[in-house]
Structure 1
Amino acid sequence: MSTTSESNAAPTCRICGARAAEEWFDEIACFRCATCGTVQSLVLPTVEELARHYAGFSESYTAGMGAERFAREMPKRHAAKLALVRRYCPGGRLLDVGSGEGGFLAQALEAGFDAVGCDYSVRKEYPPGVRVFPGNLDAEGGLPFEDASFNAVTSWAVIEHVRDPHAAMREVRRVLEPGGFFFCDTPLCGDASERHVAARSHWFCPPEHIHVFSYGSLSRLVWAAGLDVVHSTPSFERSAPRYVARRLRNLLVGAVLGRALRHFDPGAWSRRRQSVVTQIGDIQLLVAQKPGA
């Protein structure tokens, strides 16, 4: 693990409150909490800095795929996530937080949900019928909806972007009706492939990703907001073949080759952790329920 300077000593984890860092990524000023495993930006970006970073972001975002692949791939991902939602909540009012291009909302509407979206930055155009309102999951009261308004809240690849994840989860709980479900996915840190790969995960990229959660710390965050975790998985893919391919790649390149280099040349492994970025990494998924049905 990389060493820390005295000026970086004992940061406070914004998820669990512990004051100990297990690993530092000096080039991007991030640390891994020694208690809950969350990798987070050492310095919290200001609201103004994030506004500048995301200016025009929603109109051009393609998740690093390019426009053509994005248009082809995202409907398949939305369909897989909608199928998951319908297993727990077959219909009713649905709020999609961080709606992006509106594709998931379009599919939810077609499936019979009374669905609306909310986003920090609202696009000029959405698919027919899709409604997205300006809002901010990053602050209590930031969602422009009444208490207990929704049967389901979805949040796909959003929680890693917010400055205050605890406030975000309290806001999710507020707008959910008793018995309602919360669905989210987010990048994973802390599994064997990420910890041992001889490079830094591409998920660690402040100010875009401020908090990257371990499998345990995401559940901890949700429980702290008063929601019950009913399902979670450290690796979610839209099809079984893609799941197997991703797991084999991650384990081979990360846990096997990375662990070998770490054993035989720890200095080279440590230097690569600071200077080289890798696409190795999983997406975790969680389903939670608000008590009181």
Structure 2
Amino acid sequence: MAGGHIEGWSPESLEYLDACPVCGARTGQELLYHGLRDKFQVNTPGAWDFYRCGACGSGYYNPRPTPESVGRLYEAYYTHAHTAPLEYAQLSLLGKLRRILGNGYRNYRFGMHERPASILGILAVWLMPDQRALLDTGGRHLPKQPKGRLLDVGCGNGDFLLFAQRAGWEAIGVEPDPKAVEVARARGLTVHLGTLETLHEAPESFQGITMNHVIEHVHHPRATLEHCYRLLKRGGWLWIETPNLDAQGHARYGENWIGLDTPRHLVVFTDRSLLRLLEEVGFARIERLPYCPLCERVYGMSRALAIGASPHQSPPLPREERVLARQAEANARRRPEIREFIMVRAWKG
């Protein structure tokens, strides 16, 4: 199904798949893109082929870097960076008001004790459902109670671990990038260097596990989800967000869609394929989480890749693109299967 040499990569640094890494199907694989190059880090060598599974609909690169060689793709990755938020005194008057109201809502929603804060933030945010969705997603929908041990898989520089700790969780992380681990540990966080498989924790050790844009980076997603299942207590939950191959942004921007992130996103799920895999692993209940409006941002980043600009400093969308993004937003509210990202929580029975 795949073959050939990839420039800049030795034969032993690549692995070739003879089946879909999500469902195991060996036939019906479609070559979706040929010769994709890394548009986030333009110095990355290689041109990569991306396939779509005819059985489950998931997409994947084939060949791909091995677990031993994949680290070279992350040497300048964004997980290293940490930019501290502005101090309250440094904010504009409007910024101060937003901080006060946002803290008021976070204290109510997540059981935090952020200061300064106003209880009026609860009312203000409830009157702005899109803002509420953004704040809830930023907190990964952490339940206010009960709290316990929490594991963030692929925790990067530890930003979310700090958030979870302020919300009362005993939060630890695991991260394969040594530079990101160094940043996180310098912030006083408990972060283990390695992958989920190298983490030495007993079964049923955690009340919650979060994987924010991580599952698309792993070589064996089924094994990763099975490991998460074993680590969860009965009644515990797994929170996942990941790009959706059936997204409207992918349909519009094709190989420039940010969800492909060539070749770091080894596997790109569809809504159907991820929910099915979670069920097969054994999760008793799976819920799609409330919609978070992101089409305009994703369209802006994808267009930036298409014109050769930095996706992290995207130029403003032209008027016609903004109109399309807003129409996509309306469509995504009605149809979860075409949202830019899949965001679900799965519960262990």
Q: Same fold, TM exceeding 0.5? A: yes
Aligned ranges for residues 9-158 of structure 1 at < 5 Å? 12-18=19-25, 19-28=27-36, 29-55=49-75, 57=77, 60-61=80-81, 80-82=137-139, 84-86=141-143, 90-122=146-178, 123-126=181-184, 128-137=187-196, 141-158=197-214
Distance in 2 (CA, whole Å) between partners of 1:215 and 1:245 is 20
Aligned-CA RMSD value: 3.8
Name 1:177's counterpart in structure 2: 233
Distance in 2 (CA, whole Å) between partners of 1:198 and 1:222 is 29
* CA shift in 2, pair 1:97/1:251, >3 Å: farther
Name 2:332's counterpart in structure 1: none
Whether contact under 8 Å (1:31, 1:39) holds in the other structure is yes
Shift of 1:194: 2.3
Whether contact under 8 Å (1:12, 1:20) holds in the other structure is no
* CA shift in 2, pair 1:185/1:125, >3 Å: same
Name 1:271's counterpart in structure 2: none
Post-superposition Cα deviations, 1:24-61, rounded to whole Å, max 9, x if no partner, equal 20123001112211110111321222122224646635
Q: 1:16 is aligned with what amino acid? A: C
Distance in 2 (CA, whole Å) between partners of 1:187 and 1:143 is 25
Distance in 1 (CA, whole Å) between partners of 2:268 and 2:165 is 31
Distance in 2 (CA, whole Å) between partners of 1:198 and 1:83 is 28
Q: 2:346 is aligned with what amino acid? A: A
Distance in 2 (CA, whole Å) between partners of 1:175 and 1:185 is 19
Distance in 2 (CA, whole Å) between partners of 1:187 and 1:99 is 17
Name 1:199's counterpart in structure 2: 254
Shift of 1:290: 1.0
Q: 2:21 is aligned with what amino acid? A: R
Post-superposition Cα deviations, 1:218-275, rounded to whole Å, max 9, x if no partner, equal 1122122211343125x843xxxx457569969926999xxxxxxxxxxxxxxxxxxx
Distance in 1 (CA, whole Å) between partners of 2:68 and 2:239 is 28
Whether contact under 8 Å (1:182, 1:287) holds in the other structure is yes
Distance in 2 (CA, whole Å) between partners of 1:282 and 1:165 is 20
Name 1:268's counterpart in structure 2: none
* CA shift in 2, pair 1:168/1:251, >3 Å: farther
The total of aligned residue pairs comes to 247
* CA shift in 2, pair 1:245/1:203, >3 Å: closer
Distance in 1 (CA, whole Å) between partners of 2:3 and 2:193 is 42
Of 155-164 and 36-45, more deviation after overlay is shown by: 36-45
Match status 1:283 vs 2:341:
yes
Distance in 2 (CA, whole Å) between partners of 1:169 and 1:115 is 19
Distance in 2 (CA, whole Å) between partners of 1:135 and 1:107 is 22
Shift of 1:128: 4.3
* CA shift in 2, pair 1:250/1:15, >3 Å: farther
Residue identity (%): 27
Name 1:276's counterpart in structure 2: none
TM-score relative to the length of structure 2: 0.60
* CA shift in 2, pair 1:215/1:191, >3 Å: same
Whether contact under 8 Å (2:296, 2:326) holds in the other structure is no
Name 2:324's counterpart in structure 1: 252
* CA shift in 2, pair 1:251/1:50, >3 Å: farther
Name 1:259's counterpart in structure 2: none
Which structure would you say has the larger Rg?
A: 2
Shift of 1:164: 0.6
Post-superposition Cα deviations, 1:147-198, rounded to whole Å, max 9, x if no partner, equal 1100000111100000110111111011111111000101111134423x25
Distance in 1 (CA, whole Å) between partners of 2:2 and 2:219 is 25
Of 96-105 and 46-55, more deviation after overlay is shown by: 46-55
Whether contact under 8 Å (2:294, 2:340) holds in the other structure is no
Name 1:269's counterpart in structure 2: none
Q: 1:85 is aligned with what amino acid? A: L
Task: For CA contacts below 8 A with separation 6 or more, give which structure has more relative contact order.
Answer: 1
Q: 2:258 is aligned with what amino acid? A: H
* CA shift in 2, pair 1:246/1:206, >3 Å: closer
Q: 1:252 is aligned with what amino acid? A: L
Distance in 2 (CA, whole Å) between partners of 1:216 and 1:101 is 31
SS at match of 2:278: helix
